Amino acid sequence: MKIGPMIIDPPVMLAPMAGVSNRAYRSIARRQGATLCITEMVNANALLHNSAKSFWLMEMDPGEHPVGIQIAGSTPEVMAEAAYQAERQGCDLIDINMGCPVPKVVKNGDGSALLNDADRAVSVVREVVSAVKIPVTVKVRAGWNHNSITAPSLAESFERVGARAITIHARTRDDLYTRPANWDFIRQVKERVDIPVVGNGDVRTPEDAVRMIEQTGADGVMIGRASFGDPWIFRRITEFVRAGRHLDPPDALERAEMALYHVRRMVEIKGETVAIREMRKQLTWYLRGTPGSNTYRNRCYALNTRDEAENLIHEWLNHARNEELSWI
């Protein structure tokens, strides 16, 4: 798949996710086979007000390429300036968020609210494209609800004003994350545009990825929640797409080593207090799935220090080994 001058091969990508796709996790996903990673959502208004958090969200590791910075907002001029600022950070593409369904974003007219305002949505894309020299992509949901599936027509308009790729999350805003994804929405978008279309939603296995591409004609897949506690999913999909070969799932030691790496990298980047607070949830994902692991997962929410986190991981690993568990 080609986005502007970039070749994304195989096109297996990490989705932008608040609280997840930070520098630490992007480095993990990339090591495990994600060929393009997108940052957490950066609020355009906050960025223009020199929010320290916004600049932290845009920080990248040396050599972290290709990587996109996702920006969110609904004022074309503000989004254009935010895109210019993001480009200066050294990213390879700008991704525009038109899919976030959470109320605090939607109430400001941002995220998936733009699906209800085609003129403004197109103006946002047009202004962002004109403000930067790197490719601009757009991530959308299918529509506001099932009575208003606007993504296919919007995608045509976005292509016309210069967008270089579209990612379609195959749910509506009203679906949130509970209703099963309807991949036919991806097919509808793909049939309307010539630029690459990336499918997102309910890809949990290598077979899912191949089936989505076959059923919809999508040029690539983007993985979000299925990677929680399982960044190996990118490698499994990549290997299956390239060679038709299944890789063994990670065993307990591999999971423990990855969890330890993640904790240590987060502490390096964010400092111990913030890092451990943010890692509590992520550690529960790494440890889930084994008999008796609920006790360890519940204890994650009380962690406050790196030592506590590491000790818990080692204790859980000993438990897993003693039970002679294999991971699925």
Can you tell me which residue has the tokens 């197109």? 122
Query: What is the C-alpha to C-alpha distance for residues 165 and 74, in angstroms, rounded to an integer?
Result: 19
**3-class DSSP state of 49:** coil
Instruction: Take residue 157 and report the two structure tokens written for it.
Output: 């308009």
Given the residues 37, 91, 100, 300, the one annotated as active site: 100
Can you tell me which residue has the tokens 């047009």? 126
- Tell me which amino acid residue 242 is: R
Q: Do 192 and 150 form a contact (C-beta atoms < 8 A)?
A: no
Residue 292: phi and psi, rounded to 5, are 85, 0
Sign of the four-CA dihedral 41, 128, 98, 156:
negative
Q: Do 176 and 101 form a contact (C-beta atoms < 8 A)?
A: yes
Sign of the four-CA dihedral 156, 157, 161, 166:
negative
Query: What is the C-alpha to C-alpha distance for residues 149 and 166, in angstroms, rounded to an integer?
Result: 15
Sign of the four-CA dihedral 263, 266, 270, 274:
negative
- Helices assigned H by DSSP within the chain: 23-31, 44-48, 52-57, 76-87, 103-106, 118-131, 151-160, 184-190, 206-216, 233-243, 252-270, 272-287, 294-300, 306-322
Query: What is the C-alpha to C-alpha distance for residues 8 and 10, in angstroms, rounded to an integer?
Result: 6
**Is 37 considered catalytic here?**
no
Query: What is the C-alpha to C-alpha distance for residues 139 and 186, in angstroms, rounded to an integer?
Result: 12
What amino acid positions are annotated as catalytic residues?
A: 100
